[in-house]
Structure 1
Amino acid sequence: MSPSDHGSLPPRQHSQRKGSEPAKGAPVRQGKKKKKAGPVKRFFRVVLILIVILVIGAGGYAAYLAYNVNQTINQAGTDKPVAAGQEANVKPLTMLLLGTDYRPETGTHLSDVIMVIAMNPKTKSATVVSLPRDTRFSMDGYKTNKINAFYPNFLAAEKKTGNSAEEEMKTMMGKFFDLDIDYVTVLNFQGFRDVVDALKGVDVNVDKDMCYRDKADGTDINLKKGQQHLDGKQALDFVRYRKSNCSPRTDASDDFDRNRRQNEVLHALIDQAKSLNGVLGAGKAIESVGDNMTTDLEQGQIKNMIAAYWNISKENVHFMPITGDWKSPYVYLHDDELEAAKQALKDELAGKTVQTSQDAQDGPSATHSGN
């Protein structure tokens, strides 16, 4: 079910971490070593582990390691061993992918991109479920709030609880989707911009004129409708755009438009990485991330994922954006879509045919099956 006219959504709320100074009571995350990783667009690292996994072409695994990215991987993942039987090239895995709004200009950590990914090495396929950032999240044990506010709240509580924000998010989303989530990866907006620039930009069809300016955080969105080659800053503007304050005003967007644009940019990133040469493109994407990504993937598991998914087709990556109804200040999810998404994730892990709403529009050739 696709949303009808949801209207423009209100301005974002600000998290408790503003500018370069952490909010009162918020933890200073300097002593904690950041861990980095890969991408597949809107996928594994919102542009990181997804690109590595979905982009590398034939012979890519050996060439990739030969390209000296082995060292980069060792710096990106944790140094823990992968548990026996849990290797990505043997066992289907799940990952929570968060894209936060952090940039040097803002210092905030709202999770504007929230995706749960299930991937199966047998079928060489993946299912990606995304939630609107303004989703009303209400579940036993958690105070009702917009879903994008939980990560910064968990960050602020780390010192007091002793639990990492990433682990808290993984536990919460696992309960929500009724499945175990194996890993969590957080990529911020700065990392997104850097990845796009490292791949020399992306080609997308901008669906409308977009103009918005905010001197407070340096936002200056000014895009024209039509086919465009966007750099990192412009690509971020394209996926973030919500409303206009310019003269003349441009048409507003909602969370569902934003999710659709995220998908478009992620697909474009895959195409761009391939055009640069899968191995080189994946290497550039990983090396561009730096401290802008955090993951609990083990070094060995990252290599297992590359080995398992180096030849995955983007046609076998199925996106399921869950929509809903906007009733200020929340988006209320459509229950039927949520249940279908939960089942699709479970079917992916079981190696069964996954059918998404987009697949239904495209026809039966768009499904994949492990049977």
Structure 2
Amino acid sequence: MSPSNTQLPPRAKAGSKPQSKVPQKKKKKSPFKTFLKFMLIVIILVVLAVVGYGVSVYMKAENTVLETGNDNPVAPEASAKVKPLTMLLLGSDYRPKTGTHLTDVMMVAALNPDTKSATVISIPRDTLIELDGYVPSKANSYYPKFLSQEKNSGLVATDEMKTMFSKYMDVPIDYATVINFQGFSDVVDSLDGVNVNINMDMCYIDNADGTNINLKQGPAKLQGEDALGYVRYRKSSSGCKPRTKESDDFSRNQRQNEVLHSLIDRMQTLGGVTRLGSVLDAVADNMETDLENAQLRNVIATYWNISKENVKFMPVTGTWRSPYVYVDNGELDKAKQALKDEIAGKSVEAVDGADTTNP
């Protein structure tokens, strides 16, 4: 996803000043909530397959996903087997054609080994962050700024993000994982595509980032780039003749769920199992994490059979006044408390009736 992509709400220039907080109608839940649920469930499926389909496949996992961590030791008392962990999950818009690193998905997850449960809080990408020591800006703009400063500051961008979000969410964050959207296309390709039923023609052309969505109504098997366009489509561009209808958040969520279900079906077939190695490669090539290798093994051993009913997704919503989202402080406070309750082993329900059982 490119900063210039008009499929998304406009992004302010770096350093622009926040505008006055004028009450607006409630912003719709972000379509990225479902999108990252998709990414997380794909990874969970990979882990399930690793555990369930033999030593040779597990060795393949060790040579791909597990190499994304580091070899630092993990103290027994810090093991994910006994200690609740918190993790910052970032979905970067990076693709080779764009080279950008805006974090259009930002989630803070807390996992508890005693209850075998997790709480995942999603933050809208355009959230105005106002914290002492930081220039007020959109939440998704900080990671690329920290990346550009790494060479001179000597500070790792993911460490800087952990520090900032620890302050913002009022909980210490142990680890950070960055997944880029190229991984979406690669995972779809590794499973030889997804079967969908396109409910209308879709056309969008953006020469700046190479986006070329041209999908026709009807049943179709989509490969990676087309599947990415299918779940991203918002509206038609001027280069499309004829123009196609716009798509709202609800329709995008339905398409993302449709793709998710198709991927699950393919993963559960024998063909999906035999392609597990390429799925793991797709994840490994598009993911960075500061989890130690030993800790990643601890996480797999502890949470490989986590029930999706025990994974609670809580989106923080707000009001939109271009170019910012002003989050609802009441929801943000509930989200902070939910993370603390998860760490403490207390049960908590998702806010605003968010669906915690269906992808």
TM tier, smaller: 0.7 to 0.9
> How far apart, in 1, do the equivalents of 2:35 and 2:41 lie?
4
> How far apart, in 2, do the equivalents of 1:286 and 1:108 lie?
24
> How far apart, in 1, do the equivalents of 2:345 and 2:265 lie?
26
Closer/same/farther in 2, CA of residues 328 and 153 from structure 1, 3 Å limit = same
SS in 2 for 1:143: coil
Aligned amino acid, residue 295 of structure 1 = T
Contact 2:188 2:224 in 1 (8 A): yes
Equivalence map 1:39-50=2 (5 Å): 42=36, 46=40, 49-50=43-44
Find the counterpart in structure 1 of residue 84 from structure 2: 92
**1:129-169, Cα deviation, whole Å (9 max, x unpaired):** 21221111111111111111111011111112110111111
Q: How many residues align?
A: 331
Equivalence map 1:360-371=2 (5 Å): 360=353
> Is 1:335–2:329 an aligned residue pair?
yes
Question: 2:314 aligned to 294, 315, 320, which one?
Answer: 320
Contact 1:186 1:294 in 2 (8 A): yes
Find the counterpart in structure 1 of residue 343 from structure 2: 349
RMSD over aligned CA atoms reads: 3.5
**Structure 1 residue 286, shift from structure 2 partner:** 2.0
Find the counterpart in structure 2 of residue 10 from structure 1: 9
SS in 2 for 1:342: helix
> Is 1:157–2:149 an aligned residue pair?
yes
> How far apart, in 2, do the equivalents of 1:263 and 1:114 lie?
19
> How far apart, in 2, do the equivalents of 1:226 and 1:132 lie?
32
**1:302-323, Cα deviation, whole Å (9 max, x unpaired):** 1111111121222322222222
Question: 1:69 aligned to 54, 58, 61, which one?
Answer: 61
> How far apart, in 1, do the equivalents of 2:114 and 2:219 lie?
37
Find the counterpart in structure 1 of residue 93 from structure 2: 101
Closer/same/farther in 2, CA of residues 173 and 99 from structure 1, 3 Å limit = same
**Structure 1 residue 270, shift from structure 2 partner:** 4.7
Question: 2:246 aligned to 244, 251, 256, which one?
Answer: 251
Higher mean Cα deviation, 258-267 or 181-190? 258-267
TM-score, normalised to structure 1, is 0.76
Question: 1:171 aligned to 163, 170, 182, which one?
Answer: 163
SS in 2 for 1:288: helix
Structure 2 unaligned spans of 5+? 1-6, 15-33
Contact 1:44 1:95 in 2 (8 A): no
> Is 1:199–2:198 an aligned residue pair?
no
Structure 1 unaligned spans of 5+? 1-7, 16-39
Percent of aligned pairs sharing the same letter: 55
SS in 1 for 2:82: coil
Contact 2:190 2:278 in 1 (8 A): yes
**Structure 1 residue 208, shift from structure 2 partner:** 6.5
Closer/same/farther in 2, CA of residues 186 and 278 from structure 1, 3 Å limit = same
Find the counterpart in structure 2 of residue 3 from structure 1: none
